[in-house]
Chain A
């Protein structure tokens, strides 16, 4: 198998194939950086065109876009607090405070280096470990996947913000939105009120654009004359080789983020946002000064961006070997593969090694190119773009929001829905309801429910099926440890402090 890997390499370096990756990365950064346009949308728009392209050109474009967009999403997340893609939500936590402190340039450099590292790690996992890792996927039946989702949901606790009641309201709202659509088992409608458009559920991009992009746009228009919040001049950009040494302390975060991203990637359904949230939480938990997090800690950006890129190539592991995509983008990419007669499965690696391994190489080169292309060129020009007069910037973002949301299914219904979420989002933003729990609730709520109910059917209604095997029990233990652990630790520290004061 590894000889096939080397055999595929020369073809990857063919001019058009390599150019496709470069164009893909650039296009991906642009798409990711535009609030409202996501990688899923870009690739699904591209799929019909790939019919006429050579397989490696088409796949190179997709690999490039995927890698580029996962980083591109960080640009507006840092500069405007608008995550460019769903997976960049966690990047806003520390990225935006950094930009406000005048370290926006450094934040973007951390983001691009971390994204690249995550992408490279993920590409290596795909290239070297796809078959054994796909065996891991097989261990996860509905009961186990349910516990993974619960584990993810439990991390909402760390995203609640200052007021737990408001945080929980956000979470309940997100989970409730996730159940709108057809019932996962019976297929009957839930809360669709006869609208066919709602039957497939509410697309994450619609909610994200509404909640995250509309309130800042209104802010841009509300206080028009001051232009100091996006400080292009004070972005603090310096050449990347000077910035690199400052990042050498992040290797643990990079390692952890890569591991989490790869792991989440090979489990079907959860995707980059969950990976980024989890990586952020874990990095904060192990930090020596967790109180700095959320105030502009560069390591927070590193954690989120490593993980959301580390799940790109790894999401293709179950997609290529089993036909089940690990993320929404991988699902669209599967379509792109099918178009070229590349059917997922164990035969794929045997029948089309040059294309499949070439595709993997393209992921690797896409990730490496990210530093070169994203580091200076794209970052600088985008930062300048965001330096436009605020009313103009606002009106351009409005147009992008409409395009992005309309293009998902080609219907205005989604645009109106986005505006509705936007109104809700503005109120939530002003009254300080945290938004991340909504996103996580939407992603994981219905996902947990679906797997719970599949597991219950497998167990013929007996809830004991959820605790039947070791994988489930390990996951339950992990969840408990993550939730209870910090509480105990805090109590322990508090009581220590008290003792200290008394003594």
Chain B
């Protein structure tokens, strides 16, 4: 992958600066409904963010013009996205089908997918994790964890 034909507007810093700009400007709209004293601090911060992200944008574009390569964000974007999606899926599953079932599935799955493939190790680790959580939080402290919204109705 040569850096030469990379679009200078797709540099990560440029993208994030534009992102901050858009989000901050978006949040600025509801501040108009607030009393002026109430809006003072949030508006100041949002305007600050807009100005700062413009500065960031300028300096990154200047670097691009000077031919500096952008800093590499990740070596394996697929793994990062995969990891994040698995974590989100685990949270959603806890919400929908319950914490314990999801955890029993998620701990070995995540570890397996990302390279720890020893079946005995996986089984023992899962048992210890789920067991001690149940023992400490549920049994010991009668904490409730999500039971699964799907089963409730």
Residues of A within 8 A of B (CB): 45-46, 49, 165-166, 168-169, 172-173, 175-176, 179, 183, 185-186, 188, 190-191, 214, 217-218, 221-225, 388-392, 394-396, 398-399, 402-403, 406-407, 410, 412, 415-416, 419, 422-423, 426-427, 430-432, 445, 449, 453, 456
The answer to whether B52 and A165 have CB atoms under 8 Å apart is yes
From A168, A395, A423, B110 is in contact (CB under 8 Å) with A395
Q: B residues within 8 A CB of A391?
A: 110-116
A406 in complex: contacting residue of B71, B90, B145, CB < 8 Å:
B145
| B48, B122, B133: residue with the most chain A Cβ atoms closer than 10 Å | B48
Contact check, B90 vs A398: say whether CB atoms are below 8 A apart. Answer: yes
Apart from A176-B49, A186-B35, A218-B83, list 14 A-B contacts with CB within 8 A: A165-B52, A169-B53, A169-B56, A190-B34, A218-B80, A222-B76, A222-B80, A224-B115, A398-B90, A398-B110, A402-B94, A415-B95, A419-B88, A445-B45
Chain A residues, Cβ within 8 Å of B150: none
CB of A45 within 8 A of CB of B143, answer yes
* B114 x A221 contact (CB < 8 A): yes
Contact residue among A176, A218, A412, A426 (Cβ-Cβ distance under 8 Å from B42): A176
Contacts of B137 in A (CB 8 A): 45, 403, 407
Given contacts A191-B42, A391-B116, A398-B87, contact A168 B94 (CB under 8 A): no
Contact B41 A166 (CB under 8 A): no
* Nearest opposing residue in chain A for B118, CB measure: A389
Nearest Cβ on chain B to A187's Cβ, whole angstroms: 10
Q: Which residues of B contact A183 (CB under 8 A)?
A: 34, 38
Q: Among A398, A407, A419, find the residue whose CB has the most chain B CB atoms closer than 10 A.
A: A398
Cα(A221)–Cα(B71), bound, Å: 21
The 27 sampled A-B contact pairs (Cβ below 8 Å) are A46-B141, A169-B49, A173-B45, A179-B42, A185-B37, A214-B87, A217-B87, A221-B110, A224-B116, A225-B115, A389-B111, A391-B112, A392-B111, A392-B122, A392-B125, A394-B83, A394-B110, A396-B125, A399-B106, A399-B129, A402-B99, A412-B95, A430-B12, A431-B12, A431-B16, A445-B45, A449-B41
Given the contacts A191-B27, A218-B83, A430-B73, A45 and B37 also touching, CB distance less than 8 Å: no
User: In the assembled complex, how far is the CB of residue A218 from the closest CB belonging to chain B, in whole angstroms?
Assistant: 5
9 cross-chain pairs, A with B, having the tightest CB-CB distances, nearest first:
A224-B115, A395-B110, A391-B114, A391-B116, A176-B45, A221-B83, A391-B111, A221-B114, A430-B73
In contact, B116 and A389 (Cβ under 8 angstroms): yes
> Which size class do B's interface residues fall under?
35 or more
In the complex, are the beta carbons of A173 and B141 less than 8 A apart?
Answer: no
Cα separation A468 to B79 with both chains bound (whole Å): 58
Considering only residues 96-134 of chain B, those with a C-beta below 8 Å from chain A are 99, 103, 106-116, 121-122, 125, 129, 133
Q: Report the minimal beta-carbon distance from B57 to chain A, rounded to whole angstroms.
A: 10
Partner of A412, one of B79, B91, B103, B129: B91
Task: Give the residues in chain B near A172, CB-CB below 8 Å.
Answer: 45-46, 48-49, 52
Q: Is A415 within 8 A of B129, CB to CB?
A: no
For B108, list chain A residues within 8 Å (CB). 395
Tell whether A412 pairs with B56 under 8 Å between CB atoms, given A176-B49, A391-B116. Answer: no
CB of B152 within 8 Å of the partner chain: no
Set of chain A residues within 8 Å of B34, measured between Cβ atoms: 183, 188, 190
B residues less than 8 Å from A399 (CB atoms): 103, 106-107, 129, 133
Query: Among A166, A191, A445, which residue has its beta carbon within 8 angstroms of that of B56?
Result: A166
Instruction: Report the separation of the CA atoms of residues A223 and B80 in the bound assembly, to the nearest whole angstrom.
Output: 10
Contacts of B71 in A (CB 8 A): 431-432
Q: Is the CB of B87 within 8 A of A222?
A: no
Most chain A CB neighbours (cut-off 10 Å) among B13, B35, B90, B91: B91
Specify which chain A residues have a CB less than 8 angstroms from the CB of B76 in the assembled complex: 222
User: Does chain A have a CB within 8 A of B144?
Assistant: yes
Q: B87 touching A419 by the CB < 8 A rule?
A: yes
Q: How far is the CA of A190 from the CA of B28 in the complex (A)?
A: 11
Check B69 for interface membership: any CB of A closer than 8 A.
no
Query: Is there an interface contact between B143 and A169, defined as CB atoms closer than 8 Å?
Result: no
**Which residues does chain A contribute within 8 Å of B38, judged by CB atoms?**
183, 185-186, 188, 190
- The yes or no answer to B67 lying at the interface (CB within 8 A) is no
